[in-house]
Structure 1
Amino acid sequence: MNIDLTQGLLRDLGKLFENREDCNVVLRVGKNLDMSFHAHSIILKNRSEYFRYLITDYLKKESKLFKKEERRDYIVLDVPKISVDAFKIILRYIYTGYFSFNDNGINQEFLFDLIFAADELRLCDLVEFLQIHIVETNSNWIRNNLTKVYQLSLERNFVIIQDYCMKSLEKDPTMLFMSNNFFLLKESVLIKILKRDDLDLQEIDIWRYILKWGLEQDPPLILSDIKRWTNEEFYILEKRLHNLIPFIRFFSIPATQYYKEVRPFKNILPEKLREDIEAFYILSNNAPPPDALPPRKLYRRETIHRRQQMRDEINYNINYPTTNPRYSIIHLENPFQIDRNNITPTPAPPETPPYTLGNHKNISDSDIKTKNKLPIERENSPILNISDFKSSLINKHQAKRIIRWINDNKNFLVCGERVNNNSHVLELLSRGSRDGMFIGTFHSLCDNKGPTVIVAKVKESKNIIGGYNPNPWTSSNKWVKSAESFIFSFKSDGNREGIDDIILSRIKNPCAAIFDGDANYDVGFGLDLQLFLGTYERNYYEKKIMEEKRFTMEDYEVFLVKRVINE
């Protein structure tokens, strides 16, 4: 038979806290050490690693400095970093294990005095308990004091509070950067924030906030007319931002914004960085230097709101197809519709037959708007056969499989005549590891080219994912209707095509196939697959192509799809 009498034991130990009998430690507490507490060394040493070290060190020093008969009967320890009110509660907890939030005077501000004291005294269980209580019951107060709370959580490694703050920042980073106390953030804390790839702010906004932080340091610099700044003022600002500038991703800032808002402060940028930036903006198709930091993975509140608007618009267009949408959905030509100017003239029939889109719904000529001439290779011109295909991410078998998927939407007719759909050229337009993992670079190299296949390697996995856009990327910021687009996934390490390794997912709702955004939007396929953002959610394509909802692209390649036709 077992019996638990620990409550009685704790009650008796609590009596030691209430009287000074056999106390052998005097604790002088507070900034001015103007308050004394008495305690037992045996209790302090066994309950607190901090006191164990102080008492042991005190006794060692005393034994060296004084003879036994000259030593004091008690130990004197100074605790200047902890407030008197907080120490009263902490000392009672050390003796009794008791803590109550119902005690008078325990408000949000005082909770941080308590958790600081508990951490200083290495009371790990109490620190964890207080962290959980703070995030569960004081979320609004934390958000209103995010600068102070986040900085303390980093300095003290309060992991639970730190994680909570980061989740708040992921939802709305401006909570920190726009707070009144932002300028009080330490440089080391700012660097940790700037290092994050998932900091959800446009880079030009990050530059504005960091500039504001530098200007508001003591003594503040007045930004009235930058043209009238002296060399000394530029020197002061450069010293303040010197360690922060390497973590700002200048190559993600659009050229016009760089010219208006960054270039006036070019004197504070390192010379090599200035030269690299100017080369990037001035020289056509010039990629960022190899050591440039990649763009951040933006998933802003605006993006979430925009995605919901897009979702609502798609549903609205389905239910009310005759109503003009807020987001224009443009109907582009079939990817293999040959531009009529490149075909020997043939007498047109009374009515041009529709373009048959495999098993999908037919789209008549009246639905099709010519946008760009599609790339065509003649048989007598040099072409890249699939046997000569080279890629860093996929093998020839996988490339052939993608071509077959494109050809599955067969029986394309041009002016009533069948077009050969078996020969293709895959021309590499862009490779992330070669040209840079930048959305702006993607558009500069891939816009207005024609139909494209994008393949991407998922970091820390063997998965290859991607999709086919049968229409040119144009940065139109409009929805592009297509019944032929698809997304896919397969393993990257096999030389054979296994059924279990391949997933093809065709579009279910042509209105939601492609959002043709500019550099301010992600590159992807509808609302399902967002490549640079690294998100996947099955919405408007048939099958689920991967389990992960968040991922990171290790590399990507974009291929222009050209059809070879007979002369």
Structure 2
Amino acid sequence: MNTYQEDITDDYQQYSEQDYNVTIYAGEEPNITEFHAHSIILRCRSQYFRTALSSNWAEKENGMYILRKPNISGKIFQIILRYIYSGMVNFNKFEKIEYLEFLKATDELAFDKIRDYCIKIICQETEILFEIERFSTMPPRILELLLQQDKLELEEIDIWGYLIRWTYAQNPTIEFEPSKWTENDIEMMKDTIENLIPLIRFDNISYKDYFEKINPYEKLLSKKILRYYSNLNSESSELDSSIITQKDLFYSLFLNWINKKDNNQKSRKFLQYNFKLLLRGSRDGFDGNAFHYRCDNKGATIIIAKIKDSKQLVGGYNPLDWKGRNSKSTTDSFIFLFDDHKDVNSGKIGRVIHTKHAIRCYNNWGPIFGAYNSLAMSNNLAMNQNGEWSSIPPIPSSYPDLNIPNKFEIDDYEVFQVIKK
């Protein structure tokens, strides 16, 4: 339940019409609402009211302070006044349009704590604000506050789209086709957007999305951003795989899994990676020595293997490295199984449970996920020195049981270095 409450003394909750000395008129004709309040409480709660009720600014009639807020509706001001006296706001009763009005009002009146709490809700439920018709009326100050948030649950390329939509709305006379812009149009758009573009995290936007959705607006971008994308190419985010056919879909899914977004919901915290092919069994060899020669000291890797005489894919992600002769601990590794190597939706992921033995390194073996028991020959997923694969979960198991075959041969396998962009 989205209810915000501060620790306010009970005295504030005993608000009444008695002894008030402030009259506040909220809204515009013909919808002006009159409110009554106490100057001492208003001053205690906000720097804005300390200034507004000072001798230099205050309007008074017959000893009564008069405040006029035509830009804040009566309904929103009533919510704010209740917050001033009780420290409580029940966001569950808000309509979508009221979030924007509340944000603008609390920012103007310097109620930063409740404003930031409202922003937190919007970050988690972005449709509250980004999908409403009046999104384009958002003041630059509020949009800037939103774009500064790490936990804004939107993909970065979508944030760019909303920013462009908002910028057009501030300049309604400008053509929607950038190639038709005049020099004056470019300057107008730059003046509107230039302070907000630095808040876009371009390193979380793929070359493909950049080329399709951002490049048309290159006249608005700095030389630094243009140089960044000039050093990328359209192939940098694809899997150089001979095993997988739906390369872009598998790439996106693996990114989600590495970012611990198993529900395919991305956010601004979503990190982008390139996958660099280190080893292909059919090209470089299937034994353990070939694996370590090409994969040691390479950092994080993801391994994909196609099971022979089946449609299944198996593999795993090691966020550490394969150098050494010991077990390694991590909370970020996982194994996976796809029932159909041509269907990205057939995949199951098993995240590490017992982290102490998440990864096992053995000089002449291939990858080992899970604790290795030499007597029981058990592991969660492993390739031995001869290129033979097995999955016999130990007790206790380091990963969930995904029903990977106990022993199997493979058609081919690939190892990709996972490189943060």
State TM-score, norm by structure 2: 0.53
Determine if contact 2:315/2:337 at 8 Å carries over to the other structure: yes
Match in the other structure for 2:78: 114
Residue 409 of structure 2 is matched in structure 1 by none
Q: Which runs of 5+ in 2 are unaligned?
A: 1-13, 239-255, 267-279, 307-313, 321-328, 359-395, 406-416
The change in CA–CA distance for 1:58 and 1:247 in structure 2 (over 3 A counts) is closer
Partner Cα separation in structure 2 for residue 467 and residue 54 of structure 1 = 55
Q: Please tell me whether the aligned partners of residues 136 and 170 of structure 2 are also in contact (alpha carbons under 8 angstroms).
A: yes
Size of the alignment, in residue pairs? 301
| Closer, same or farther: CA 257–282 of 1 in aligned 2, 3 Å | closer
Match of 1:489 in 2: 355
In structure 2, the CA distance between the partners of 1:116 and 1:198, relative to structure 1 (3 Å rule), is closer
Q: Distance in 1 between matches of 2:53 and 2:100?
A: 38
Contact 2:168 2:174 in 1 (8 A): yes
Written as runs of structure 1 = structure 2, the 5 A alignment for 1:124-273 is 124-126=84-86, 128-129=87-88, 131=89, 134-136=90-92, 138-139=93-94, 141=95, 143-155=96-108, 156-157=110-111, 159-160=113-114, 162-163=116-117, 166-171=120-125, 173-223=126-176, 225-273=177-225
1:430 to 1:199, Cα distance in 2 relative to 1, 3 A: farther
Cα deviation for residue 246 of structure 1 reads 1.3
Contact 2:331 2:352 in 1 (8 A): no
Q: Which has the larger radius of gyration?
A: 1
Determine helix, strand or coil for the equivalent of 1:257.
helix
Distance 1:206 1:58 in 2: 44
Question: Is the contact made by 2:135 and 2:166 (CA closer than 8 Å) also made in structure 1?
Answer: yes
Q: What displacement does 1:80 show?
A: 3.0
Q: Is the 8 A contact 1:195 1:247 kept in 2?
A: yes
Shift of the alpha carbon at 1:202?
2.2
One-letter code aligned to 1:207: W
CA contact (8 A) 2:97 2:134 kept: no
CA RMSD after TM alignment: 5.5
| SS at 2:296 equivalent | strand
Kept in 1: contact 2:299–2:418 (CA 8 A):
yes
Partner amino acid for 1:166?
A: K
Compute the displacement of 1:219 (Å): 4.8
Shift of 1:165: 5.5
Report the alpha carbon displacement of residue 201 of structure 1 after superposing the two structures with TM: 1.8
Is the 2:100–2:129 Cα contact (8 Å) retained in structure 1? Answer: yes
CA drift of 1:57 comes to 5.8
User: Could you tell me which residue of structure 2 aligns to residue 376 of structure 1?
Assistant: 286
The letter of the residue matching 1:110 is G
* 1:423-442 alignment runs, 5 A limit: 427-430=296-299
1:214–1:237 Cα contact (<8 Å) kept:
yes
- Cα distance in structure 2, aligned partners of 1:471 and 1:374: 24
Q: CA deviation at 1:46?
A: 5.2
For 1:298 and 1:195, the matched residues in 2 are separated by: 22
In the alignment, the residues of structure 1 paired with residue 352 and residue 42 of structure 2 have an alpha-carbon distance, to the nearest angstrom, of 62
- Residue 403 of structure 2 corresponds to residue 510 of structure 1: yes
Output the CA distance in 2 between the equivalents of 1:237 and 1:255.
23
Offset at 1:263? 0.7
Identity across matched positions, percent: 14
Per-residue deviation, 1:487: 5.0
The aligned residue for residue 344 of structure 2 is 477
Question: Matched residues in 1 for 2:137 and 2:43: separation?
Answer: 32
2: CA distance between counterparts of 1:31 and 1:470?
59
Which letter does structure 1 place at the counterpart of 2:121? K
Paired with 2:184 and 2:121, the residues of 1 have a C-alpha distance of 40
Q: 1:375 to 1:183 in 2, by over 3 A?
A: farther
Say which structure is richer in strand. Answer: 2
The structure where helix makes up a greater share of residues is 1
**Alpha-carbon deviations, 1:141-163, whole Å to 9, x = none?**
2x243322334344443645753
Q: 1:486 to 1:47 in 2, by over 3 A?
A: closer
CA distance in 2, matches of 1:150, 1:299: 29
What is the CA–CA distance in structure 2 between the aligned matches of 1:16 and 1:246, rounded to whole Å?
50
Superposed, which structure 2 residues align to 1:18-33 within 5 Å?
30=25
For 1:257 and 1:209, how far apart are their aligned partners in 2? 14
TM-score in terms of structure 1 length: 0.41
Give 3-state SS (helix, strand or coil) of 1:198's partner: coil
Output the amino acid matched with 1:135: F
Alpha-carbon distance in 2 for matches of 1:428, 1:160: 49
**What letter is aligned with 2:318?**
I
Asked whether the equivalents of residues 207 and 248 of structure 1 are also in contact (C-alpha less than 8 Å), the reply is yes
What SS does structure 1 have at the residue aligned with 2:332?
strand
Partner of 1:49: 43
User: How does 1:289-438 map onto structure 2 within 5 Å?
Assistant: 303=265, 375-377=285-287, 427-430=296-299
Match of 2:67 in 1: 80
Contact kept in structure 2, 1:153 and 1:159, CA below 8 Å: no
Match of 1:454 among 318, 326, 329: 318
Task: Name the CA distance, whole Å, in 2 between partners of 1:204 and 1:278.
Answer: 18
Query: Residue 265 of structure 1: CA displacement?
Result: 0.8
Distance in 1 (alpha carbons) for counterparts of 2:145 and 2:138: 11
Aligned-pair CA distance for 1:226? 2.5
Contact 1:150 1:161 (8 Å CA) reproduced? yes
